[in-house]
Amino acid sequence: MQVRTFDTPQTVAEQFATDLSQWMEDSSGPFNIALSGGSTPKILFQHWAQNFQAAVWEKVHFYWGDERCVPPDNSDSNFGVTNQLFFEPSKIPATNIHRVLGESEPVAEAVRYSQLIANNLVSVNDLPQFDVVLLGMGTDGHTASIFPDQMQLLDDDEICAVATHPDTGQKRVTMTGKPIANAKRIAFLITGQSKKDKFASIQSKADDSKLWPATQFIHQENTIVYVDKSVIE
Ligand code: 6PG
């Protein structure tokens, strides 16, 4: 893993956007990225909408690493947030957007979304391969919607599965561990002091860090972790 530190969440998002442009430029053919929910991506989406020309996105296909099981116009919808802050202002064509249908029955939707991903992406190591999977980390060490009490999702054989938020009981459709780990690149955007203790334990490979889903992806060789200074100072 590589950890890169920036002054603010804004500069975290801006640097990731710069790196992503380079990776998109270097790649031929369709470029598949799995987006995430959370606070830092909101800054990223606004930055993309304000600073990137529509043409940049022509070959880019957008998926999600996780989605809350709510309709797209619900304020909890990860698609809804991205749509409002980025897709609509940047006029991203609907054919490039592959959302999880949060309004559908979760188990059936996890199956449908798994098939969609398997059909659309190249297969490497017998698993679909995203060019980039964007992730965040919750204060409980969760990532995507793989929570510490559902660690078995890290080894699940399906591409996507249904998860349950441990506090609210909200259903989520999440990508499982293997397809996430199989991405060409994983980018974590982690900001805010509330992540400091967990991140320090993960970095030092403390025993308790094994209990948190984010840990194994953070330690992968092809992972870049973008943090703001409040996470490490
Ligand atoms: C979601 C996520 C989730 C998120 C983390 C970090 O849909 O909630 O994909 O895994 O990335 O909870 O969120 P913050 O960036 O808000 O801390």
> Would the CB of 9 count as within 6 Å of ligand 1?
no
CA distances 227 to 16, 124, 137, Å, are 10, 29, 11
Question: 112-161, pLDDT tens digit by residue?
Answer: 999 999 999 999 999 999 999 999 999 999 999 999 999 999 999 999 99
**Residue in 45, 70, 143 to alter for ligand 1 test, most ligand atoms within 8 A of Cβ:** 143
Question: 183-224, pLDDT tens digit by residue?
Answer: 999 999 999 999 999 999 999 999 999 999 999 999 999 999
Using DSSP bridges, classify how beta strands 132-135 and 171-175 pair: parallel, antiparallel or unpaired.
unpaired
CA–centroid distance, 59 to ligand 1, in Å, is: 26
Which residue intervals of the chain are DSSP H helices?
9-26, 39-51, 78-82, 88-90, 106-120, 177-181, 196-203, 214-218, 229-232
Residues forming a β-bridge with 132: 33, 185
171 DSSP assignment: E
pLDDT band with cut points at 50, 70 and 90 for residue 1: confident
Strand (E) or helix (H) holding 27: none
Strand (E) or helix (H) holding 233: none
**Per-residue pLDDT, 153:** 98
> What's the average model confidence in pLDDT over 11-28?
97
pLDDT at 16 over 90: yes
Question: 85-108, pLDDT tens digit by residue?
Answer: 999 999 999 999 999 999 999 999
> Would the CB of 66 count as within 6 Å of ligand 1?
yes
CA–centroid distance, 228 to ligand 1, in Å, is: 16
Q: Could you give the 3-state DSSP secondary structure of residue 124?
A: strand
> Would the CB of 39 count as within 6 Å of ligand 1?
yes
Task: Tell me the pLDDT of the chain averaged across its residues.
Answer: 97
Torsion sign across C-alpha atoms 25, 48, 64, 228:
positive
CA distances 27 to 32, 34, 88, 110, 195, Å, are 11, 16, 25, 29, 33
pLDDT band with cut points at 50, 70 and 90 for residue 177: very high
**Per-residue pLDDT, 36:** 98
CA distances 159 to 43, 79, 111, Å, are 28, 19, 8
Q: Whole-structure pTM over 0.75, yes or no?
A: yes
37-76: b (≥16 Cβ within 10 Å) or e: bbebbbbbbebbbeeeeeeebeebbbbbbbbbbbebeeeb
Short-list 49, 98, 51, 58, CA closest to 78 = 98
Q: Whose CA is nearest to atom 2 of ligand 1?
A: 37
Short-list 61, 122, 71, CA closest to 94 = 61
pLDDT at 71 over 90: yes
pLDDT at 167 over 90: yes
Strand (E) or helix (H) holding 125: none
**Residue in 10, 64, 66 to alter for ligand 1 test, most ligand atoms within 8 A of Cβ:** 66
CA–centroid distance, 212 to ligand 1, in Å, is: 14
